Structure 1
Amino acid sequence: MKIQTKITLHFLALSTGILILLNAFILYFESRFNYRDFFKRLAARVNITADINLLPEKTKGYLEMRNRFLEKLDGEQELFIKAPANITTNPGLPEKFFKDLVANNRAEYKQDNRFYSGKIVSRGQNKYIVVVSAKNPYGYREIEDLQQILLFGFMGALVIVFFVGKFFSFNTFAPIRKLNNKVNSITSSNLHQRLDVTGKDEIAELQHTFNNMLNRLETAFETQNNFVSNASHELRTPLTIINSEIELAINKSEAGSRQHEVLSTIQTETNKLIQILNGLLTMAQSGYDGKKQNWEQIRVDELLWFAIESVKKINPDSNIEVDFSNLPADELLLNVAGNSNLLNLAITNIIINSCKYSQNKLVIVKLTAQNGKLVIAITDLGIGIPSDELQHIFVPFFRASNTHEYKGHGVGLPLALNIIRLHNGSIGIRSEVNLGTEIQIFLPSGPS
């Protein structure tokens, strides 16, 4: 999951928690206000009821005032009774409400949707219990309406918060995206480019870090490039001279003599050294040549024919079969962008290995297209590779434990992997000992 998405979700979760707390706060205090207001209305009726029953001379006025100015509450009931000196008998009131009333001379109580308000009034030596109860359907309806409003408001707020969070995270990571695009545009051919450092925040620190890394990479690549350029001349020339002189000495020596055998051995080892040196230099050049030379559109099916022709020249006894039965209908999908010489070298090396380690048994070269990639599958019936050694076959100079009887230097597959990676491709391999090996080359297809 991207950090931008994580921030959006965290922002949404935080806002959800805040909204839930806010809605609970509103609902709680609205309920308390609603209940308190209703209890006040009941308390006013308790006082009026007490005055009506205890002040006969004012009964008419209180009755008129109550009828004119006080609405009749839903399920309103009045209780006015004379209490004994020691109040112990409950006149049908809720037990908790009755106990609070006796203990405090005033009490309020809610049972389901019925509210009770009462007090004990003293007149002379007498005590009277005055209680008014009623239902509060309007208050409950008001709270239910508020709950619906808060619920819909909560859901709408979440939608708004989600898109605000996406917008916020998108803008927050805009410098990161710009930095990422700039870094992706820097390749081995333009390592001299640097990121523009703006501001003094964490992004600027990251830009400084990338620039320092690019400085080190540019130095390393230049060192490698200089080595490859110089080694091509400084190493190959003396080895070629040595090989020529040895060949002259062999021609002048007697066949079968000790001197002839020694010179032949030196020539053989010198040729091996030249082959290893050529492989190493080619592998170094395939990893970085300072620029993309001869980068062009290549028809892979035609490239395979050239590679097979090269293999036939090197090993005339090779037995190679080509399978083009599943080529895509669109010929443009057979194109890849790259260097034809390098790709030809990589494919040739893999086919030569397949022919060599299968002792010229049938090798099948199959070309297919899938998921926007061209897949070149090279399958042989050779000696295979031990499963515990598969992970090492692309390491330079590594040779499997069952290849000692075959000539080789362990640079062909690493060289092929470097070339394929240079073309934004990859290599996969499957192998079983004594059954054979299949190597698949994946290259991005279509016009570049």
Structure 2
Amino acid sequence: MTIRNRLTIRFTGLVSSILLLAFVSIYAFCWYFISSDFYRRLDRKANTIGDMLIRHRLNTDLIQQLTRIRKDQLPNQKIIAFDQRDSIILSTNESITLTLPQSVLSNIRQTREKEFRQDKYYVVGARFMTASGQFVVIASAENKYGDEFLRRLFWSLTGLFCLIVAITAFSGWFFANDALRPVQAMDRTLNAIFPKNRDERLPLYHDNDEISRLSQTINQLLDRVNESFRLQRMFVANVSHELKNPLTLISSQLEVSLLNERGPEAYRQTIRSVLQDVTELASLTHELLRLSQLNQNDAVSLLTDQVRIDEIVWDVRAQVNAINPHYKVTVQLGTLPEEPDQLSVQGNKTLLETALKNLTENACKFSDDGKARVEVDFQEAVVTIRIQNQGNPIPTADLPYIFEPFYRSRKTAEVRGYGIGLSLVERIVRLHRGRVQVSSSVGQPTVFSIMLPR
């Protein structure tokens, strides 16, 4: 079922329920008022006849004559009086037959008064106490005008209810269509966007309503999807390129070796070269595997350690200094907190060590003198780690893309690597709910800053 039909049905059902409750209340009030008024009129007639017959002891013939000549007779009015032995002592309008069971008379004597319906007649019974026993006077009549009014009121309300429900259903269908028109336009636009028009976006209005906010959210989603497609294409292209070079080298060397007979030393040299290319492929595959395994869903299972930042920094310093004799890493710790626990953050020691090692090694690799400086600042809510070096600044055009997988600028293309390290650093920091920033300009050191929440 479409949203339009669902909204129409719900709107119509709500209005119909309210309208039905109002009409039923109106009809019930009119029925109660008309019935109560008619029963009061019958009660007055029963008490009048009872007073004349029982208390004032008027002659029955005189009473019948008086009831015939009175002008306030009710339609098909009939009065019956019973003595203490349930014998009829007065009966008017003999053309109407009103049968009353013995149980009804007994009930009237017990309750003093009784109002009830018998077929189309309204009936009221009243009890009169005398020294000789209990008398019962029954007054009955048809409420023709009241019943006719209620019947017309019922059909009028029924017709009015059906008319209003029909108008409500049509109005709800029309207004639902009008309200959903922007959604239909969004649907057509979104169907036209993929796969060819990924740069097209939904139009934004200044109404600041739910549709406008939804359009803005969808545009942001489309931006992220478009960025994902771009990264995916770049990732595939770069991986293909990185895999193609060593595979081509391996194939070429093996083909050359098979052209002519060579000496053992030549074959050993070829095997060593091929082994080196295979090692590079294995290293690249390992880095890709580590990059693919890091995602936000792993945070709960991975970030379970209390990691001492000062210990990791000193370990990274030792590891990087051992990589190359020209590398030199200096560490400067800020004001240390009094409590040792404040030196720690919750996370994964191996991952944080990998991130710091990659940044520190890059700082030494791209510095003019092979030196890098690591500064740690312990604050109340965050731990900030800065890795800086002196050297050629990162081009401004490259700064937005340095954390993307396999991205390598012209400056870094001359240095051996795969372009995965900074992407891996960014994912590790984001996994720890932190953020990484970089600043690089001419005449100033290049600084990578990692902010980890305490």
Give the structure-1-normalised TM-score: 0.45
Structure number with greater Rg is 2
Give the structure-2-normalised TM-score: 0.44
